[in-house]
Amino acid sequence: QTSNLRFQLMLSVQILSRTFANSRQLLVRRTIASTTRVSSLSYSRYQSSSSCVMLAAAAAAAGAVTVHAMRESRTCNCDASENLISLQPGKITKEKSTGIFFPQLVNGMTFTGCGVRVKWGFIKVYAVGTYVDPIAFDYVRHQGDYEIVSALLDPKYPRTIRLVMNRTLSNEKFVNALVESIEPRMNGEDLDKLEEFKKLLPPGDLVSGAVIEMTIRGDTLLLKNSIGGVGAINSIVFCKAMCNIYYGDDAVSPDHRDEAVQGIKKMNK
């Protein structure tokens, strides 16, 4: 009887061992199969994501080539002898002395000419460009240079004056130099507007490439500073003085003034 019990016990142990071994093999197989499916799925996703990345890179490269081609084909030097002004929305113009680019449209107005502000005869401080309302200047553009300059000196003719820094300069030096030019042209009137103007430019530096835009409409000058802040000066005296700085007989950039005049004459409505 004892031998019989031992035999049954050994048989049970063998059966349990085989069952455990089979279960372990089955578990291992399922684990391998699951891992294989996950790996396959991950690889498929990797291939898909890699394809997306490659497509995105190709698109970006194509875009860069397109932009470069557009710049090469639609860029002209701001030179009175050969500069052709047109209303092509994508056209950009390069100021010949600084190499700074000006887009064709700014604030809904059309580019007419550019130049450079030179200090002490050799320091190129910033490039300046003029944008005008083609409808407002439609009648004047058929007149002579004198009539066009008179319109540019009149704030009632809307325009945007775009300044792009060619070198780094502190806001304080920039605004003080501009105020020194404006004040004598105001003939002692509305001088409090000069302090308002100073507050529109934030402290700090105007780095090379920084942009300032001044849009003049009648007695209002809207200024967009280099960090995107916008403020207004309401004074016909101040607006006339600002126009005189850039279009008067003693303009800070005579080339810019002359280019703007020629550009208006060639402009289409």
| Residue range 186-235, pLDDT digits in tens | 999 999 999 999 999 988 999 999 999 999 999 999 999 999 999 999 99
**Which of these, 203, 204, 246, lies nearest to 221 by C-alpha position?**
246
Structure tokens at 267: 């402009």
Say whether pLDDT at 82 is over 50.
Answer: no
Contact 108, 117 (CB under 8 A): no
C-alpha dihedral (72, 75, 78, 82), degrees to nearest 10: 80
| Greater pLDDT, 53 or 135 | 135
Share of the chain above pLDDT 90, in %: 62
**Whole-number Å distance between alpha carbons of 234 and 11:** 106
Share of the chain above pLDDT 70, in %: 66
**Whole-number Å distance between alpha carbons of 223 and 214:** 5
The residue whose two tokens read 């300059």 is 149
Say whether pLDDT at 146 is over 50.
Answer: yes
Residue 213's pLDDT is 98
State the sign of the Cα–Cα–Cα–Cα dihedral 70, 71, 73, 76: positive
User: Distances in Å between the alpha carbon of 4 and those of 9, 11, 71?
Assistant: 9, 11, 99
Say whether pLDDT at 144 is over 60.
Answer: yes
Structure tokens at 240: 């006339």
Residue 268's pLDDT is 75
DSSP element (H, E) containing 35: helix 2-74
Residue 9's pLDDT is 54
Residue 158's pLDDT is 98
| Greater pLDDT, 47 or 143 | 143
Residue 63 confidence class, pLDDT cut points 50, 70, 90 = very low
Residue 1's pLDDT is 52
Say whether pLDDT at 238 is over 80.
Answer: yes
Question: What would the mean pLDDT of 89-97 be, rounded to a whole number?
Answer: 86
Residue 227's pLDDT is 94
3-class secondary-structure state, position 257: helix
Residue 263's pLDDT is 97
Say whether pLDDT at 150 is over 90.
Answer: yes
Residue 121's pLDDT is 83
